[in-house]
Amino acid sequence: MKIVVDDKIPYILPALHALADDVVVKAGAAISPSDVRDATILVVRTRTRCDRALLDGSSVQLVVTATIGFDHLDTAYLDAAGIEWHNCPGCNATSVAQYVASSLLVLQRERGLDLSGSTLGIVGVGHVGTAVVTAARRLGVGRLLLNDPPREAAGDRLPGAMPWTPLAQLLADADIISLHTPLTTAAPYPTRHLIDADAFRLMRRRPVLINAGRGGLVDEEALLAAMATGAVGDVVLDTWEGEPHIRRDLLNKVYIGTPHIAGYSADGKANATRMALTAICHYLGRPMTFDITPPSLPEGTVTATAPDDVALQLYDPRRDSSLLKASPETFEQQRGSYPLRRERV
């Protein structure tokens, strides 16, 4: 049996070699039809577009993406072709929440953002958005507004949360807006360019905008116009349209800009690998357990005792932002060689 796997999925190879006699490791963007023609299982991240062009005529029976998002999978084609597929929902939710929380701490210290007096609007309250709710409460954010039309339509509500807030009201009332929806163009809840020129016109409080979801959620032309007119305040972007070839004019204007690494803690990666392996073993009917533990931080990495200082020593997004602004052309390399980051000591 042959398994083809993205070379940037950590901690996975020993387990795959125990499951298959032929394991091919390649850069995600370089995986080609010839690589998968005689493969049974394909394990990817977001850089591999899994569609008819890649898989038609192949022997692939299972596609697993070691990510929460799956807009790089043509699920309609996979379903029609009888190819089973799995993503890893929630795998890096606390990692993204760590990114958002650390960004807010930076804005509090450097830009005078009053978290206790602010209203945070969270758009998309799935695994990640729920983790951001928890992080925001830990930071003492004054008020939360939650928007998630699919969950609202299903009658869902977070324990103890206020009622769902319509998007227009959230945009008007929030001091901080954080985006955590999937990227989709499908009715009834399309999210591509959810934040567009019309959305920026609804923003009354010149909010901080954070996008650690998907690049296409924000119309970047409209964002640049909103920044120029002052309709929006500080901007934190981890995801971009056109990745890895991002707009340098926008990168130069955002307060924090990072190379799609919000979910890249070692803990989140380990979770994704474990979930991917579980899906593979379930498909093969070979239940196995995996001891996947990220490496410990070097001694002395965290010396602070105050909670906010500890949080920023564990992860300070300014480092990643400085590196990207200094070398935007190495966006993909910065993702691929991301240093060890833990969510806890």
Catalytic residue numbers read 214, 243, 260
Measured distance CA(260)–CA(54) in Å, rounded: 24
Q: Please say whether the beta carbons of 28 and 4 come within 8 A.
A: no
Tokens representing 260 are 């799609």
| Nearest Cα to Cα of residue 121 among 183, 169, 184 | 169
Query: How many residues are there in the chain?
Result: 345
Task: Please report the sign of the dihedral spanned by the C-alpha atoms of residue 339, residue 340, residue 343, residue 345.
Answer: negative
H or E element: which one contains 176? strand 176-179
Tokens representing 317 are 């997004």
DSSP 161: P
DSSP 76: H
Residue with tokens 């005792």: 305
